[in-house]
Amino acid sequence: MTARTTDTFAGARGTVATVDWPLEDARRAVVIAHGYGEHIGRYEHVAQDLAAHGAAVYGLDHHGHGGSEGERALVEDFDVYLDDLEQVVRRARAEHPDVPLVLLGHSLGGLIATRYAQARGGLDALVISAPVIGGNPEIEALLGMDPIPEVPIPPEALSRDPEVGRAYAEDPLVYHGPFKRATLESMFGAVRDVNEGPSLGALPTLWIHGEHDGLAPLEATREAVGRIRGDRLEEHVYPGAMHEVLNETNKDEVLADVEAFLASL
């Protein structure tokens, strides 16, 4: 097991909490961007697997999430996510200047990571897990309601493994409340920016997704990926899997596919 270290830094809108899994003589550096409402601690098993295969791993709790400051799950300006993430990316690059730098993002983190790759660059590879770059018509429809009804993310939509949903529901660092209007406006604005933005060009990209993902619908995501895909795209769609493919019943297969992609860089 790789020991984790925790720290904070002054982010764009307040203090940001970080968790790193340092590794001397790392063969690659991986920065993880977590999803909506959750926190980087839910990626401990992912970080440990990456570290076991030679990666120094870096993570943060986004503004308004986990141990970071800000109203819970409220972001009025999507660039706050990018600005905070950039500080972590720069630190990873500075500490490991001679190895590939990879950004891995899940769900909302996949949207953040994709937009970061388009707008900020400086990466050697991108891994997007169930990215919400294609949007979700059912969630976006909430913007037409006043007030927005309380429809938090259902734990049973995450994985076929019921333990994943149970742990999520009982996690005090996870936000379990309703969507906030400003957050939805910011999020779907970013979806439009991604789809109207440049392709990923020569950036090696791995896209992983569950066949039965109800939060980032597969076909909408496939259309968005097709719109921005670059010269080197690898994709894996897992039959029967739901939204959190990194926490699915076949997570060992998923992680092996991620490691194989990283080894090819």
Q: Are 150 and 177 in contact (CB under 8 A)?
A: yes
- What stretches of 24-78 show up as alpha helix (H) in DSSP? 44-52
Amino acid letter, 91:
R
- Tell me, yes or no, if 199 is annotated catalytic: no
Residue 228 tokens read as: 């921005």
Residue 98 bears catalytic tag: no
Catalytic entry in 63, 159, 243, 257 = 243
Strands (E), 198-259: 205-210, 233-238
- Any residues with CB less than 8 A from the CB of 148 and at least 6 apart, and which? 142, 178, 179, 180, 181, 184
106 is catalytic: no
Q: Which residue out of 107, 129, 159, 186 is catalytically annotated?
A: 107
Task: Point out the catalytic residue in the list 20, 49, 84, 213.
Answer: 213
Full DSSP string of 108-157: HHHHHHHHHHHHT---SEEEEES-GGG--HHHHGGGGSSSPP--PPPGGG
Catalytic residues: 107, 213, 243
